[in-house]
Amino acid sequence: MKIFVTYFIAVILAFLGVTSLMIYLDEQYKNVWYFDFTPVSTPEERRADSLRQITDSLMEINKTPVFARETLELYREAAGDTGYFSPKINYDSLAALEEQAERERLLRAKAQSDSAYNVWKTETIRLYESMDPEQVAQVIQNFPDNIARDLIYSMRRKKAAEVLENLDEETVAELTKAER
């Protein structure tokens, strides 16, 4: 009888040990039952990863040449009402510049209408509103003007004013000017 009780206690202790180990491993890794030992990410880590991916994709969109629109405007100003600047103008390249400017405008419009952009913007604003205005100003200076403007105008007024207060005058003028 004494041996039976000893074995019974040993089996119960082994069962409890293995069960608690499995529960612990199941919380730490994706699926231990299928030997998938990749660490489980917390909701904050998943949100940070998605924000990072959205930020990277927006930065890729904003790498399209901004000079295309400016160059096109210079050509149009130089041509005046006559429609030509000099005999050396290649109208095919002018059309290409117009197409490039149109693609740039469409990409920006798509990025702003994209729901992922809106989610990113909402999460980013929530994060920035909890940060120190000086730190937010430093971060916002690294964004393209249209995204920085979008973030600032979406913040609460008081927080946006504090952030703008920490930016240099030229940047504030650029971000707060009216778009045509």
**pLDDT in tens for each of the 180 residues of the chain?**
889 899 999 999 999 999 998 888 888 887 777 777 787 777 677 677 777 777 676 666 555 455 555 555 555 555 554 444 444 455 566 667 777 777 777 777 776 666 677 888 888 889 888 889 999 898 888 888 888 888 898 899 999 999 999 988 888 888 888 654
pLDDT given for residue 17 in this prediction = 94
pLDDT given for residue 71 in this prediction = 57
Residue reference for tokens 């005058």: 169
pLDDT given for residue 119 in this prediction = 80
* Burial class of residue 98 (count of CB atoms within 10 Å of its CB; 0-12, 13-18, 19+): middle
pLDDT given for residue 102 in this prediction = 78
- The pLDDT tens digits of the residues spanning 116-169 come to 778 888 888 898 888 899 998 988 888 888 888 888 988 999 999 999 999 888
pLDDT given for residue 10 in this prediction = 94
Please name the residues in contact with 61: beta carbons below 8 A apart, sequence gap of 6 or more.
Answer: 107, 108, 111
What is the pTM (predicted TM-score) of this model?
A: 0.38
Q: What is the DSSP string of 111-137?
A: HHH-HHHHHHHHHHHHHHHTS-HHHHH
